[in-house]
Amino acid sequence: MVGPVWFDDIPVLGKLPPRQAAAKLRELGEQELADAVISADETESRAAAFGRLRDLFSPKAWAHTAHAFGFIPPARPEQDWLSVQHAGNIKADGELKSARIKITLDRLRVADYPGGGSHRILFDFYAQNQAPGQIEHLHFNATYRARQGEEAAIIGYPIFVGLHVGAEGVAFKCYTVNVKNDHDEALLDFLDTDVFKGGLKLISTLQPAIAPLSGMAVALTKSIAERHRNVPVQEFYMGLDFEHPATRARLAVGSYVAVQIPQSQQRVWDWNDWGYHLASGQLLSKDDRKQMIPYNYLVFGVSRYSGE
């Protein structure tokens, strides 16, 4: 794998044209919504149809393609509440430049995925490993289970262990597939073994086996994403660096939150309205500690790597 590979030819559900979206919704048992999508596409002008589709999809968290990116700083022992900041409104940690880090998945909230019920979600995680002498393009697969409206039972799940940070920062991508095909569920069981639960472990030099392993991960994700009753739901890109342009995000030790929100919410989303409650381990409203973020989100931990 000589360059980055992504899944632009297999768009997430929120990006599909109306008829393709309707076909996927039927596969997942969302008959009423699929009928409404087709009706809007057939009876209205293209502009009106897309407006109608936005109205139909607006209550559905899985339909959105925009994201908000937040940052939770490390906690001190006596703290009970941590404010969340925009990932571009923090100070970069210069000590991470050309260092090695560990990235973990610490939270996965399935507020709303298509098909309802219990979900098995296939993740493809991508990062650039900037080892001395060459950039390695890494892909790592993992699966997690969660019921609609709940969080997966994970915390500190290793993804990239010993990732090399370049002098200009690190790039990170994520792509999720909602797996409802029974045969594919059985196929993915091998990802639940201890070998994969340890994350992708990197050493201080280039590893010849990384390229074919990453290629296999990409092939698996593409194969699963295109199968009957499976559908990609979420994708995003995070570039974390050490400079301070107002529109970019910084790299620091802490936790990054990626929330799948409506495009309209990007204009009014304010991370000051939310915080991390350490006693419960939940992201909650600052004004109402019983209210959770009503959208799908993931939390990634970034820490210094201390291994050999």
Q: What HEC string does 45-74 produce? A: CHHHHHHHHHHHHCCCHHHCCEEEEEEECC
Q: How far, in Å, are 104, 140, 189, 205, 305 from residue 197 at the CA level?
A: 11, 11, 12, 23, 18
Q: Decide if 210 contacts 138 (C-beta within 8 A).
A: yes
Q: What is the pLDDT of residues 273-304, one digit of tens each?
A: 999 999 999 999 999 999 999 999 999 999 99
Phi and psi at residue 139, to the nearest 5°: -130, 135
Q: What is the structure's pLDDT at 250?
A: 96
Q: What is the pLDDT of residues 111-121, one digit of tens each?
A: 999 988 899 99
Phi and psi at residue 136, to the nearest 5°: -100, 130
Q: What is the structure's pLDDT at 191?
A: 76
The first and second tokens of residue 146, run together, are: 């969660």
Q: How far, in Å, are 18, 42, 118, 171, 268 from residue 24 at the CA level?
A: 10, 18, 18, 31, 31
Q: Decide if 71 contacts 85 (C-beta within 8 A).
A: yes
Q: What is the structure's pLDDT at 293?
A: 95
The first and second tokens of residue 111, run together, are: 């507020």
3-state secondary structure of 150: strand
Q: What is the structure's pLDDT at 300?
A: 97
237 residue type, one letter: Y
User: CA angle, 31 as apex, 30 and 34 as ends, to 5°?
Assistant: 85
User: What does pTM read for this prediction?
Assistant: 0.88
3-state secondary structure of 183: helix
Q: What is the structure's pLDDT at 63?
A: 86
Regions of the chain with pLDDT less than 70: 1-4, 41-59, 193-197, 203-209, 308
Burial of 9 (0-12, 13-18, 19+ CB in 10 A): exposed
Q: What is the structure's pLDDT at 195?
A: 60
Q: What is the structure's pLDDT at 2?
A: 47
The Cα 146–Cα 233 span in angstroms is 14
Among residues of the chain, what percentage have pLDDT more than 90?
57
The Cα 270–Cα 231 span in angstroms is 30
Q: What is the structure's pLDDT at 206?
A: 54
3-state secondary structure of 134: strand
Q: What is the structure's pLDDT at 55?
A: 60
